[in-house]
């Protein structure tokens, strides 16, 4: 429900030509700017799980780029760990396919689902060719 409210809020702001949540928080997370992410969430905690136009959250952006401290902060703030974007991808899938082993480890430790499939019915282990990431995923029960 919180995500829906934020999406509606963002939609209204977009109509007025301003959509801060889907840009500044996502940009800061993607850049690994821990200080900016911390500041933005302190000012706007409702932005935590706001989706961009592709359904991605700030945590997905950070995981994709391997920004471990940002992912950890977002998880501590209560970010939805198993959120799926428009393609059915999760933060764990983003981290795995981009060979971000530290983020993969953190997300698994924090309870990320290993059984989620994307919209093409691909699992997290089918999204990486990195032997270390694949070994970790399989050791934890991913197929």
Q: What is the pLDDT of residues 73-112, one digit of tens each?
A: 999 999 999 999 999 999 999 999 999 999 999 999 999 9
Q: What is the pLDDT of residues 5-17, one digit of tens each?
A: 444 445 444 443 3
- H helices of the chain, in order, are 2-15, 26-31, 34-43, 58-65, 68-76, 91-97, 101-109, 131-139
**For residue 22, is pLDDT > 50?**
yes
Domain membership of residue 15 as a residue range: 2-139
Q: What is the CATH number of the domain that holds 14?
A: 1.25.40.20
- What pLDDT, on the 0 to 100 scale, is given for residue 23? 76
Domain count across the chain: 1
CA distance 90 to 76: 17
C-alpha distances in angstroms, 83 versus 13, 48, 49, 59? 23, 12, 9, 9
- State the pTM of this model: 0.85
């Amino acid at each position: 429900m919180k995500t829906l409210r934020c999406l509606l809020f963002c939609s209204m702001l977009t109509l007025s030509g301003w959509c801060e949540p889907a840009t500044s928080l996502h940009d800061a997370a993607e850049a690994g700017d821990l200080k900016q992410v911390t500041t933005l969430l302190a000012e706007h905690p409702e932005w935590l799980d706001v989706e961009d136009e592709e359904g991605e959250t700030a945590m997905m952006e950070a995981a994709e780029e391997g920004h471990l401290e940002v992912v950890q902060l977002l998880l501590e703030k209560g970010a939805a760990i198993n959120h799926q974007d428009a393609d059915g991808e999760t933060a764990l899938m983003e981290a795995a396919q981009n060979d971000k082993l530290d983020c993969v480890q953190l997300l698994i430790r924090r309870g990320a689902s290993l059984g989620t499939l994307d919209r093409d019915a691909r699992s997290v282990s089918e999204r990486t060719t990195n032997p270390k990431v694949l070994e970790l995923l399989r050791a934890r029960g991913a197929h």
